[in-house]
Every structure is written in structure tokens, then in C-alpha cells.
Amino acid sequence: MTTAEHGLTEEDLHGVFDETIATDQRIEPRDWMPEAYRKTLIRQIAQHAHSEIIGMQPEGNWILRAPSLRRKSILLAKVQDEAGHGMYLYAAAETLGVDREELTEKLIDNKQKYSSIFNYPTLSYADVGVIGWLVDGAAICNQVPLCRCSYGPYARAMIRICKEESFHQRQGYELLLAMVNGTDEQRAMVQESTNRFWWPSLMMFGPPDGDSPNTQQSMDWGIKRHTNDELRQRFVDMTVPQAEALGVTLPDEGLVWNETRGHYDFSEPDWTEFKAVISGSGPCNAQRLAHRRRAHEEGAWVREAAQAYATKQREGSA
Ligand SMILES: [Fe+2]
Ligand SMILES: [Fe+2]
């Protein structure tokens, strides 16, 4: 429907949009929205979908080497969930007028990003536990507020995703509990893995607020509800007692309870490393993209077959 059909000017439509945001209602695909809002959402949802899909690789690496059938089935279910998250999110992005195929092309051509965390390698089975605990834990902190995002399809996808993410975090923590109650060698594995994943997990919240120019606009639009630094603080406060319960040391000497603030103080992550990883020079960037590209090419026949089948079905019913 065109603007003229409604007899509304662009200014009127903008007013309706602003009112919807101000009253904390949801913007739906049929609604008028500013082009910049649409573009921001497409970029954010695509980046999020890509992260779910690329995020299958570091843990997928351990499926064939899981230490027991039980561990294998848990890990398999978790990695499959991540694929599902990617699908919900690509579907949410498609309601904004982009094509999933186009987004995948952008990912494999290195034109769209995904979370920096997945560019680190998984070196031991303890990483499966630590990723569930810290990486899915950080994802939950980031994603719970997105359940109230102003864009309806994204908010609804996030509700379902968050339920599954909390299962992911628990399975990780349960694995770590088993390991810390095991042998000295297992405890050392958990500590070593925590040392590697702690800082990259803090970086998952993005650059410090002073270095995050788009945050304010996203908050005004009700896409983001908290700043990067607020979420990072929430994650640290939530994680310290969990680390204590596991008997694991978080690798930061600056990590201390601040009575006045009522929060833990902690050191600054290495933002130079963060920028390097984001811009493609992390330990696994090239490997992750090459793997994704190969999977996409090898899956071409499946997409063609599905397309041919759908066409046939349509013709049949016509
Ligand atoms: Fe996920
Ligand atoms: Fe997850």
C-alpha cells in the first residue's frame, strides 16, 4: 500500500512510528519504518544469525570426540539448536525485505560480520563446558533485553532463542561441575579453558560505550535497551559467584567487589585484540569463513532439489 492510498504524508507516518516506539508497542513488517531503522535491524539481525551459524563450528569440532554417548548427544542437540537459532533469525531478517541467500552471500564474501568470539579455537573438551557457561552466558545477558526489542519478529524470535540458550548455559555448567569434581588433570583443563575464554567473552558485549557511536540511536529506537558496558557489568556480576562455586579463578587481578558501587570492578579487555579479531585477523577467521563457504557450495544441490520440489508441488496444486 502506498502512502497516497492512506492519505498520509511521510511526516504523519513518522509520527505514527515515533508514537509506537514511545509507547513501547511493536513495529511489525507491514508498518512504515524509517529506512535507517530497517537498515540497522537488517545489519544487526543478519550479524546475529551469522553468529549462530558460525558458532556451530568451534563446538562441532568436538562432536566426534565427545568422551561418552551422553556427552555426544547433549553436544549434538546444542549445536543443532544453534542452527535453529540461525534459521529463526534469517526468517526475521527476511520480514524486512532481504533474502536469506543474499545474507549468506554477504557472510561468505566477508561483507557482514559475526561475533568475534567464534574466531577462537576450541582446544580441549573443557572448552565445550566453558563455552556453554561463559559464551552462552554472555549471549543470554545480551539477548534477554532483545526479547523487548521494538521490532516484533526479532523480539519474538529472541524469546524462543533465550529459552534454549539457558539450557545451553546449564549444560555447560553441568559439564564443568562434573570436571571440577573429577581428577586434578580435569580441574586444570577447566582452569586453562577459562583463562582462554574469559577475555573474549567480555569482548562479546562490544566496544566500550565511549567507542560505540551507534548505541544511542539503537536505544532511542528501542532496539537496544542497555549499553555495552552495562551488559558487561551485569555479566561479570553474575559470573563471579559461579566461578567461585566451580573453584575456578577468573584471570583478572583487578577483579574485586566494589562496596560503594555494589558491583565488581574489573580490568579493561585488550581492545586492540578485539579490533584485530573483528577486522579478520583472529586465530580462526579464515578457517571459519572457508568452512562456511565450502558447506554452502556443497549444499547447492540440496537447495536446488528443494526448489525443484517446491515448484512441482505448486504446479501440482494449481
Ligand atoms: Fe544460539
Ligand atoms: Fe547457545
Interval 219-254: pLDDT, tens: 999 999 999 999 999 999 999 999 999 999 999 999
Instruction: List the grid coordinates of 276.
Output: 584485530
Extract the runs of DSSP E, i.e. beta strands, from the chain: 256-258, 263-265
> Distance from the CA of 286 to the center of ligand 1, in angstroms?
22
- 174: number of Cβ within 10 Å: 14
- pLDDT of 7 reads 77
Spatial neighbors of 24 by CB under 8 A, at least 6 apart, are 148, 150, 222
Residue 5: per-residue pLDDT: 52
Residue 258: predicted pLDDT: 98
Report the separation in Å between the CA atom of 109 and the middle of ligand 1, taken as the mean of its atom positions. Answer: 23
Helix (H, G, I), strand (E, B) or coil at 266: coil
Q: How far apart are CA 118 and CA 56, in angstroms?
A: 9
Spatial separation of the C-alpha atoms in residues 291 and 286, rounded to whole Å: 9
What's the CA-to-centroid distance between 212 and ligand 2, angstroms?
25
pLDDT bracket for residue 318 (50, 70, 90): confident
**How far apart (Å, rounded) are the C-alpha atoms in residues 307 and 260?**
61
Q: What is the pTM of this model?
A: 0.94
Per-residue pLDDT band at 3 (split at 50, 70, 90): low
State residue 75 phi and psi, 5-degree precision: -65, -40
Please report which ligand is nearest the Cα atom of 168: 2
